[in-house]
């Protein structure tokens, strides 16, 4: 299944102020892998999942979009997301990455590397409430 | 200045699981 394409939200613009789960404020470009992991540990509802990029291809609907196929979590569930080519994902141990980092840097001024097959991105799921 | 919560930056990839 392909999810609804997200637009390019304002919080990815360089300098945007992000609040971590413990209340600490950081700029979007300064976020580290640990910030997401620690915030998820504090959260009662959300947990971090590893989403490995399995495939990246151009969208059939528009050249501005790409379809990124992920393998999510321990069950390796296949999830496809249609996003703007400049939409940034956070790669474990690496930072912000997009299908077209030049455009991301141009539009958002957010330092960004090229998203590639095999990259492991941070994603969220609901905590299993037993 | 707007402040955004950390989780808004992370895509919510919620696979439907039967188990």
ipTM value, please give it: 0.86
Predicted local confidence at residue A61, as pLDDT: 84
* Confidence band of A127 (pLDDT split at 50, 70, 90): confident
Which residue of chain B comes nearest to A35, CA vs CA? B6
| Cβ neighbours, 10 Å, residue A60 | 8
* Confidence band of A15 (pLDDT split at 50, 70, 90): very high
Selected residue of A48, A77, A78, A96 to mutate for chain B interface (largest B Cβ count, 10 A): A77
Average of per-residue pLDDT across A48-69: 93
Q: Is B4 in CB contact (< 8 Å) with chain A?
A: yes
pLDDT digits over A91-112, tens only? 999 999 999 999 999 999 999 9
The CA distance from A40 to B3, in Å, is 18
Chain A: give the shortest CA distance to residue B4, in Å. Answer: 5
Selected residue of A10, A13, A18, A90 to mutate for chain B interface (largest B Cβ count, 10 A): A18
The order of strands in the sheet holding A89-91 is A2-3, A77-84, A65-72, A46-58, A120-126, A89-91, A95-98, A113-114
pLDDT digits over A36-54, tens only? 999 999 998 899 999 999 9
Token duo for residue A10: 């304002």
Cβ atoms of A64 and A85 within 8 Å: the answer is yes
User: Which residues on chain A are in Cβ contact (under 8 Å) with B15?
Assistant: 72-73, 75, 77, 79, 125
């Amino acid at each position: 299944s392909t999810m609804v394409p997200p637009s390019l939200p304002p919080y990815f613009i360089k300098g945007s102020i992000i609040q971590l789960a413990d209340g600490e404020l950081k700029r979007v470009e300064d976020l580290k892998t640990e910030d997401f992991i620690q915030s998820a540990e504090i959260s009662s509802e959300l947990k971090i999942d590893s989403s490995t990029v399995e495939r990246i291809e151009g969208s059939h609907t528009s050249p501005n979009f790409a379809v990124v196929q992920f393998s999510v979590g321990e069950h390796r569930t296949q999830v496809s997301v249609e996003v703007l080519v400049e939409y940034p994902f956070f790669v474990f141990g690496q930072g912000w990455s997009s299908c077209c980092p030049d455009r991301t840097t141009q539009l958002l001024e957010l330092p960004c590397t090229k998203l590639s097959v095999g990259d492991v991105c941070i994603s969220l799921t609901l905590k299993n409430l037993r | 200045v707007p402040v955004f919560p950390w989780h808004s930056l992370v895509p919510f990839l919620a696979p439907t699981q039967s188990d």
